[in-house]
Amino acid sequence: MGSWARGRARTSLTRRPKQAALLWASDAGRRSQAPPQPAEARYHSGRGSNTLVAVKILLATSNPHKSGEITDVFAALRSQAATDDGACRRGAVAEDLELINLRDLEETIPEPIEDGDTFEANAELKAAYYARRSGHLCLADDSGLVVDALDGKPGVLSARYASVTGARSVVDEANNALLLKNLGDLPAEQRTARFVCAMVVCGPGRASEDDRKPSVPREVVLLARAIGTLEGRILGPGDDGFGIDNPRGRGANGFGYDPLFVLPGSGTTTAELSAGQKNRISHRGHAARRMWQRIQEAIGDP
H helices of the chain, in order, are 2-6, 64-82, 88-95, 119-134, 168-183, 275-281, 283-300
CA 172 vs. chain centroid, Å, equals: 19
pLDDT tens digits for range 143-158: 999 999 999 999 999 9
Share of the chain above pLDDT 90, in %: 60
Q: What is the pLDDT of residue 287?
A: 97
User: Which residues does residue 283 pair with via DSSP β-bridges, in sequence order?
Assistant: none
Q: Is residue 185 classed exposed, middle or buried when 0-12, 13-18 and 19+ CB atoms within 10 A define those classes?
A: exposed
Has residue 29 got a pLDDT over 60? no
pLDDT tens digits for range 219-262: 888 999 999 999 999 999 999 999 999 999 999 999 999 999 99
CA 95 vs. chain centroid, Å, equals: 22
**Phi, psi dihedrals of residue 83, rounded to the nearest 5°:** -105, 5
CA 234/CA 296 separation, integer angstroms? 36
Contact 15, 34 (CB under 8 A): yes
Alpha-carbon radius of gyration of the chain = 20
pLDDT tens digits for range 185-232: 999 999 999 999 999 999 887 655 555 555 555 788 899 999 999 999
Asked if residue 154 has a cis previous peptide bond (ω within 30° of 0), the answer is yes
Q: pLDDT band at residue 36, thresholds of 50, 70 and 90?
A: very low
**Phi, psi dihedrals of residue 37, rounded to the nearest 5°:** -130, 140
DSSP letters, 9-55, are: GG--EE---GGG--EEE-TTS-EEEPPP--S-SS---SSS-SS-SSE
Question: pTM of the entire structure?
Answer: 0.80
Contact 236, 183 (CB under 8 A): yes
**Phi, psi dihedrals of residue 186, rounded to the nearest 5°:** -55, 140
Catalytic residue among 142, 172, 239, 258: 142
142 is annotated as an active-site residue: yes
